[in-house]
Structure 1
Amino acid sequence: MKALTIAPGDTVVVVELPIPEPGPNEIRVKVHSVALNLVDALYVAHPADKAFGCVVGSDIAGIVDKVGSDTIQWRVGDKVTGLLQGATSGNIRPGGFAQYVILEVDLAIRIPSTVSYDEAATLPLGSLTAAQALFIRLRINAPFPSPFSFPPEATPAPSILISSAATSIGFYAIELIKLLHSAGAQTYRVFATASPRNHAKLLSLGVEAVFEYRSPTQVDHVRNVSGGITHAFDCLSEDDTTAHISQTFREGGGTIAVIRKAAWNKDGIRADVTPLYGAAWSGLGHEILYNGETLPESPEWRAFTVTFFSFLGRDGKNLLIQPNPVRVMPGGLESIVTKGFALLGSRKVADREKNAVQSSSKPWMKPISGEKLIYHLTS
């Protein structure tokens, strides 16, 4: 099979690898679509220790091609999406940008017939990152069975600010908060920041108000409209974004869930506001080396992922949350670096527009905004 692997010189190459065989509690997936994430490009430009030769890529969707000997819940021909770690750690973990991949059966998500492979490929990493932020780090009780349980909100009308909401993670955070409303659980006033071109989309998802994220008066606007935030999710976590968000909190402060560990400035963060970081990979339940640290195996975090993924595809007919908008890119594995990673960049989202090919007449090379890049590995 063909696969995209890390190579010396901060790049990747397409190589031929043996088609993997599933273990007893695994399934083999023939990959149709892959979705690109910033973390995929980041660890190509800045490879982890021992990553050379490892397959890149996190999000995949395809069809079950073979099942393990102890697997009873999946059959050949089932549509499935899933998450792999994709050359982002110092220990060898399988990646997703290959014609065939192996998924553990309890971490695979069933794709309903109403959802395309392209849409499904946007789901695993983005939705899990959002779920961990909301239902673990921000201590909001989940609308599905979870090993994490928290006391009821002390504030009568709690609110949450989703900053940089027109990102994959931001869209999924809004969708997940909406599920609390339909489940009859504690409800939250939801506010968002984004560029003006994405305001209508976010308002259509049920956000109470959207603010221009580059406005110098953003903090005052958020506080005036909301009365002060009680929870926040920084879906960018770069430069001064976290500090600005901290200024929107009501008296008494609170917690900001951040998605990156060291890309945001600590200066300017209010003393009563605490940023909390967590790696989505912890949800896979394996010990990994990531960002220079050892993340221990966590049965509790894995149990959270298992119940969350099961919840998303529980009836096999409809997803409970709306997939991300997609942009299908031309070419296959060979084009991911030259086109997809070129658009994503390898450091900060804020650098994308100045690095984008502004003069290109190709519609797929326009700057990314409010959509996920998709590549097809099969016709």
Structure 2
Amino acid sequence: MKALILDASLKTATVKDIPLPLPAPGELLIHVHSIALNPIDSLYVAHPLGATGRVVGSDFAGTVVSLSPSTPSLSSSKSESKDEKKEEACKLKPGSRVAGFLQGACSVNERPGAFAEYVVCAWDLVWEIPGNVTFGEAASISLCGLTAAQAVYYRLGLAAPFGSIESLGLRSRDAQADEEGKEIDFFIYSASTSVGMYAAQLVRRGAEASGRRTKLFGTASGKRFQLLRDEPCKYDHLVDYHNADWVQHIRDLSDGHGMHYALDCISEGDSVRLVAETLSKDGRLGIVRSREGGAWEADDLRVEPIYGAVWECLGAEVQYQGLTVPASPEARKFATEFYRWLSEGGKLEPNPVRKMPGGLERVVEDGFALLGTGSMQDREQRRGEPWMKPVGAEKLVYNLIE
């Protein structure tokens, strides 16, 4: 098969022919139809963590080719009860349309990546694509959608539409008094990012499930306001982050008491400090990038930001950015519950996608050039092709099979 392979010495990636992967116990072999790009994909090619020869890339969507013989399927399950069968058995079969993500070259650990014609992935870390969603749209959901779900439900502690935190065997992290009818103010900084748009939807789904009245506040460029006010995000209040006084504006919109929850979807430069200033006395702040990774610095925050790597979903130790993320069975269980919810009709609409021309051979030349090699400020691409306009409120998608 063809795959996009890291060249750590030259800090790039090139398409090469490599053997097809073989599914280990509990894994699926998947024929990839579409891939979606994330900033971490280009970041860890420009600043390699892994050795030359790693398959790069995270998000994929495709069709199941085969299951490892030891993967528990509904037809072969010997569970003692129907409830156990639902928990333990894989409902997927050859031909099933699925999406997921892999860690690839985004860690020191040797793990496969997604930018290839075929991938292997644990059967419980993919979700079945509904018929009204294209492969390209589905490829854009898995990593950013789970990142948002982890932040909103698993770390900040809002009620989840697929079961309470307690039902997952986790301690509730809700910082707010469990007062009947209490209104929640939730603020999302950089609301038009992929994580931000999925987080808004998930805040809405959580409010619907719990019956808690929730107001959604966000910052974005003014030209994105109509997109964010419409379904599926339905923001109540939006402030242009170009305004120097946006922090005070957000606080004023909350009648001066500040936000109960905030999620910083950029977490670099001064953003963490500024977002922290929007919070109420007992507010909670989630971030998507760690201090240890060098993304931000602030020593006088009114709250301690809550950070966790999306890679926790693997349930295995992960080493990256000088960090060691310990294995977390709870985080793995949360991810499988989230993907099961998606498979069973959970309401999460795909973000807008930009279909990029070409396949694997154009990812570095075009897609990585658009995403840059790290921060949001590192996106200075000035090429004139229509597909090379600056990225905003959309995911870059390549179809490997038309």
TM-score (norm 2): 0.88
Q: What secondary structure does 1:31 align onto? A: strand
- Paired with 1:224 and 1:294, the residues of 2 have a C-alpha distance of 40
Distance 1:269 1:364, change over 3 A: farther
Match of 1:266 among 297, 305, 329: 297
**1:151 deviation in Å?**
6.7
Query: Aligned equivalents of 1:13 and 1:88: distance in 2?
Result: 16
Answer yes or no: is the 8 Å Cα contact 2:312–2:325 preserved in 1: yes
Preserved CA contact (<8 Å) 1:165 1:235: yes
Whether the 8 Å CA contact 2:67–2:93 is kept in 1: the answer is yes
Within 5 Å, give how 1:104-183 maps onto structure 2. 104-145=122-163, 146-150=168-172, 153-154=176-177, 156-183=182-209
Counterpart in 2 of 1:209?
A: 237
Give the CA RMSD over aligned residues: 1.6
1:255 equivalent in alignment to 2:257: no
- Offset from partner CA, 1:160-186 (integer Å, 9 cap, x none): 111101011001000101112322443
For structure 2, the residue ranges without an aligned partner over 5 or more in a row are 74-90
Query: Conserved in 1, the CA contact under 8 Å of 2:159 and 2:209?
Result: no
How many residue pairs are counted as aligned between the two chains? Answer: 369
Q: Distance in 2 between matches of 1:143 and 1:248?
A: 27
**Equivalent residues of 1:240, 1:264 under 8 A apart:** no
Deviation of 1:268 after TM superposition, in Å, equals: 7.0
Whichever residue aligns with residue 267 of structure 1, its letter is A
CA shift, 1:269, in A, is 4.7
Distance 1:288 1:236, change over 3 A: same
Give the deviation of 1:310 after TM superposition. Answer: 0.3
2 CA distance for matches of 1:212 and 1:171? 16
Partner of 2:351: 324
Give per-residue Cα distances to partners, 1:210-250, cap 9 Å, x unaligned. 11012101011101112311110000111111111111122
Partner of 1:312: 342
Please state if 1:361 is matched with 2:377: no
Task: Specify the SS of the correspondent of 1:350.
Answer: coil
Q: SS of the residue aligned with 1:230?
A: strand
Q: Is the 8 A contact 2:148 2:196 kept in 1?
A: yes
Aligned to 2:70: 70
TM-score normalised by L of structure 1: 0.93
Identity within the alignment, %: 41
Q: What letter is aligned with 1:53?
A: G
Which deviations, in whole Å up to 9, do the C-alpha atoms of 1:112-132 show, x marking residues without a partner? 001000110011100111111
Is this contact kept in 1: 2:35–2:136, CA < 8 A? Answer: yes
- Cα distance in structure 1, aligned partners of 2:340 and 2:127: 7
Please tell me whether the aligned partners of residues 141 and 150 of structure 1 are also in contact (alpha carbons under 8 angstroms): no
Take 1:301 and 1:219, find their aligned partners in 2: how far apart are those partners? 32
Q: Distance in 2 between matches of 1:226 and 1:268?
A: 26
Secondary structure of 2:144's match?
Answer: helix
Deviates more, 1:149-158 or 1:7-16: 149-158
- 1:2 alignment partner in structure 2: 2
Q: Tell me which residue corresponds to 1:60.
A: 60
The whole-number CA distance in structure 2 between the counterparts of 1:185 and 1:350 is 39
Tell me whether 1:301 sits opposite 2:331 in the alignment. Answer: yes
Letter of the 2:197 partner, please give it.
F
Match of 1:84 in 2: 102
Structure 1, unmatched stretches of 5+, are none
Given that 2:154 and 2:334 are in contact with CA atoms closer than 8 Å, whether structure 1 keeps it comes out as no
Q: State the Cα distance separating 1:350 from its structure 2 match.
A: 2.6
Once the two structures are TM-superposed, the CA of residue 26 in structure 1 deviates from its matched residue by 1.3
